[in-house]
Structure 1
Amino acid sequence: MDSGAIRRRLALGAAVLAASAGLALAVPGSAQAATAGSCAGRQVRTLPFSTGIVHVYKRDGYVCAVTVARNPGAKRVMSLSVQARGNRPVVDKGTFRQLAGPVTVHAGNRCVWVKGSVGRDSVSSGWILC
């Protein structure tokens, strides 16, 4: 092999390595979104109801929540809404097996209103974290 071919192969190897490192950094965040503990910060509230639980987390002025079904498996309508006072709610609604969310909003020092539902039952927090 001549030196030009070696340089090209080294350049290609470096490019592949850089791309794989970028994917390795991006994928854990995506994979983490599929777990119940996918919100960053400390858990500040748990809102239980008959068909599920809403977990609320807070970190650096951001509030994150996730709705988890008590009996995952069959797909059913689930929703999650997080609203910082003075802003519109951010909603994740659809047909899911295990969880809706996570939904994150910037609340700063404002109150938030969290709603979650699994099937026909739901929970609503009222204004919290004021």
Structure 2
Amino acid sequence: MDSVAIRRRIALGTAVLTASGLLALAAPGSAQAADSYCPGRKVKDLPFSTGTVHVYKANGYVCAVTFPKHSSTAKRPMSVSVQARGNRPVVDKGRYSHHAGPITVHAGHRCVWIKGSVGSGKVSSGWILC
């Protein structure tokens, strides 16, 4: 084997290792894409007949996102609402295909009331995270 063939094999091996390393780094980020709408840790899921509201908490802030039960590209009515006790609710309501929200409010140590809907299905948490 001459030196040109050896260099080609080394270059090919380096390219394969680099590509596999980049794929390994990219894969975990894409697996967490659905959960990256809100910062913090997931503290509650509020499932209902047509979807789920995911609730996150970080540094006194509460964040919520409504996802439909079945993914589709068709737009449908969706909403998410977060209300810290003593304040007005913050609402995201409209016709969406993938999710409603995220909605983030500063709750501090106060209770929050979370609502979500997809089509005719809805959920209302009552006062939680007190």
How many residues are matched? 96
Structure 1: unaligned runs, 5 residues or longer: 1-34
Superposed CA RMSD in Å reads 0.8
Give the corresponding residue for 2:21. Answer: none
Rg larger for: 2
C-alpha deviation, 1:53, in angstroms: 0.3
Tell me if structure 2 keeps the 8 A contact 1:36–1:99.
no
C-alpha deviation, 1:36, in angstroms: 3.2
Provide the TM-score with structure 1 as the length reference.
Answer: 0.72
State how 1:55-70 maps to structure 2 within 5 Å.
55-70=54-69
Give the corresponding residue for 2:19. Answer: none
Give the corresponding residue for 1:72. Answer: 71
SS of residue in 2 equivalent to 1:36 = helix
Tell me if structure 2 keeps the 8 A contact 1:36–1:66.
no
Give the corresponding residue for 1:117. Answer: 117
Distance in 1 separating the partners of 2:115 and 2:34: 16
C-alpha deviation, 1:49, in angstroms: 0.5
C-alpha deviation, 1:123, in angstroms: 0.3
Confirm or deny that 1:36 pairs with 2:53.
Answer: no
State how 1:91-102 maps to structure 2 within 5 Å.
91-102=91-102
Structure 2: unaligned runs, 5 residues or longer: 1-32
Identity of aligned residues (%): 70
Following TM superposition, the consecutive aligned residue runs of length 4 or more in structure 1 with deviations greater than 3 angstroms are none
Distance in 1 separating the partners of 2:111 and 2:87: 11
Tell me if structure 2 keeps the 8 A contact 1:36–1:68.
no
